[in-house]
Amino acid sequence: VRPSTPDPSTPAGAPRVPSRNLFPKDTLMDLYVYVSQEEVFSDFNNTDALFWFHRDLVYGDWTTGEDGDGCYQHYKEMDIPEQNGSLYIHIYFTKSGFHPDPKRKGQYRRLATVHATRMLNKYKRRKFLKTKNLLTGETEADPEMIKRAESHGPVEIISHWHPNLTINMVDDHTAWVKGSVPPPLDQYVKFDAVSGDYYPIVYFNDYWNLQKDYYPINETLKSLPLRLSYCPLSLWRWQLYAAQNARSPWNFLPEDTYEQSDEDQDSVKVALLETNPYLLGLTIVVSIVHSIFEFLAFKNDIQFWNSRQSLEGLSVRSIIFGVFQSLVVLLYILDNETNFVVQVSVFIGLLIDLWKITKVMDVKLDRENKFAGVFPRLVFKDKSTYVESSTKIYDDMAFKYLSWLLYPLFGCYAVYSLLYVEHKGWYSWVLSMLYGFLLTFGFITMTPQLFINYKMKSVAHLPWRMLTYKALNTFIDDLFAFVIKMPMMYRIGCLRDDVVFFIYLYQRWIYRVDPNRVNEFGTSGVDHAQNNTAAPAPDAASAAITDKPEGEKKND
């Protein structure tokens, strides 16, 4: 939180005196609303500019109005500004009997007038993604949009309009101290330079104006409708609105990120407006649990691979394929300009997958045979615990059978994507084709581990804690997938993870605990039994030894 902005007019060390609201409780007010293309308004005699005039409003009154809540509304349709210009709304609250025009002597008083201005229209970026069928060169995009993209470029800034706006006057009489108002409230509390008191807070409230409800101002519109509402607002609700709309002045993110943030906030607002309160509460609780499980899965995954001594029973090829899959997903979301937070999350996941490679293979730098004579080569070699076990044989066998199914499906999907889907270019086609294929048939890459479990008749080598947390998160994703609007491909992806996990559970049930099986820490149940058994005498020691075949006993 940044500190409140000190007042430059206050001498250093001077005591800060609490101020008061220039409009006491129950003050009679007149409301003047002007709409103009001028950012600084002075044409008070222009009756066409006067949008709304309302006499004798009571400051802090919550009982009058059309619905008995202190609110009033006014609707009017306005002419479209020339040359697609901006429209500004100018709000004036004056004490009853006064006028906002400074030129009217005797009718204007500075301390009896509150003024606020803002732009009514909103400029938004519209991006045109030029896609086409790579074989025919044809596109299904609107020809008019193609023409505009050629004349204005891939990004066009268009003026948008929303037909609703609320003017809130905050019912607040706090003794604010100049220079000590906490942010972001200090942007709205305006002090009079002479008296030191502050003006009533006028707040333009468009929090519930969803981004999807804005529409472009173009030649198809004949007029601009505006429904203007006036309502009192409590201090704590105003603080919530101000905090939600505040943006840090130190923020380094580009404007595109702000637009994405607005769209993300829209989904939250829609959930608040349209979702059942009980379901909304459940969703919040489930989201918190999802985050906890995600962290626990992350922690246990690292612990498992960090302490792993043997690779017996684990599919190394699946881990290598997982790195390729994470790389494809990262390149795909970068190519499609996904949210920055998602990009960081996927990038961290890729780093973890790369770290796992160092745990399942011996990675060394070959400084003698350099790449291009400059860069040392990376040499990957299977670990001895993997080569010397039957796991490698089963792993190779699983991928051999897998390739019989995977390659034909991959070829068919690539041809389908090339014939029927539009792309920006060949690079985008490769990424989207790989991403779509992995999302649809990605569960096939999990089958080698199932095959190894089947051949070894054991599941003791699996990281069950991590798998359990991930499975619980998958079930939570299922809930979100059907409560929240999501692509069908994502729902299919959630379902396929459920199926694979249930197969894991079935294997855990049919393959009972084998005390001779080496676990993830490189020890077995027999080892623990031997370590826990004391050996005070030769007889006790010989009794603790696991039975051996007759031939070995004779050799002993």
Summarize pLDDT for 272-299 with one digit per residue, the tens. 777 777 877 877 787 788 778 777 777 7
Edge to edge, what strands does the sheet with 122-127 contain?
Answer: 122-127, 155-161, 215-216
Contact between 390 and 380 under an 8 Å Cβ cutoff? The reply is no
pLDDT score of 537: 44
3-state secondary structure of 187: helix
Contact between 313 and 461 under an 8 Å Cβ cutoff? The reply is yes
pLDDT score of 393: 78
pLDDT score of 517: 55
Q: Model confidence over 409-456: pLDDT tens digits?
A: 888 888 888 888 777 788 888 888 887 777 666 656 666 777 777 777
Q: Is residue 125 part of a domain?
A: yes
| Weakest mean pLDDT among 19-23, 227-231, 491-495 | 491-495
| Gap between the Cα atoms of 453 and 460, Å rounded | 9
pLDDT score of 18 more than 90: no
Cα–Cα–Cα angle for 328, 364, 359, nearest 5°?
60
Confidence of residue 533 (pLDDT cuts 50, 70, 90): low
Q: Is residue 446 part of a domain?
A: no
Please compute the mean of the pLDDT values over residues 258-275 and round it to a whole number: 67
Q: Is residue 497 part of a domain?
A: no
| Gap between the Cα atoms of 58 and 26, Å rounded | 5
Which residues touch 448 (CB under 8 Å, ≥6 apart)? 315, 317, 318, 395, 398, 399, 402
Q: Is residue 38 part of a domain?
A: yes
Nearest CA-CA partner of 181 in 25, 2, 22, 12: 2
pLDDT score of 504 more than 70: yes
Q: Is residue 551 part of a domain?
A: no
Contact between 310 and 385 under an 8 Å Cβ cutoff? The reply is yes
The top-scoring range by mean pLDDT among 20-29, 329-338, 388-397 is: 20-29
Domain tally, the chain: 1
- The overall average pLDDT reported for the chain is 76
Instruction: For strands 361-371 and 224-234, give the pairing.
Output: unpaired
Q: Is residue 343 part of a domain?
A: no
Tokens for 402? 């897998």
Q: Model confidence over 462-488: pLDDT tens digits?
A: 766 767 776 776 677 666 666 555 555
pLDDT score of 161 more than 90: yes
Q: Which residues pair with 44 in a beta bridge?
A: none
pLDDT score of 117: 95
- Judged on CB neighbours under 10 Å (0-12, 13-18, 19+), 210 is middle
Confidence of residue 525 (pLDDT cuts 50, 70, 90): low
Does 184 sit behind a cis peptide bond, omega within 30 degrees of 0 on the bond before it? yes
Query: Whole domain around residue 134: which residue ranges?
Result: 27-248
Q: Model confidence over 96-147: pLDDT tens digits?
A: 989 999 999 889 999 999 999 999 999 887 776 677 777 777 776 666 666 6
pLDDT score of 151 more than 70: no
Confidence of residue 203 (pLDDT cuts 50, 70, 90): very high
| Gap between the Cα atoms of 469 and 477, Å rounded | 12
Please compute the mean of the pLDDT values over residues 156-176 and round it to a whole number: 91
Q: Is residue 302 part of a domain?
A: no
Q: Is residue 256 part of a domain?
A: no
pLDDT score of 552: 41
What is the DSSP annotation of 290-357? HHHHHHHHHHHHHHHHHH----TT--HHHHHHHHHHHHHHHHHHHHTT--HHHHHHHHHHHHHHHHHH
Please compute the mean of the pLDDT values over residues 311-334 and round it to a whole number: 78
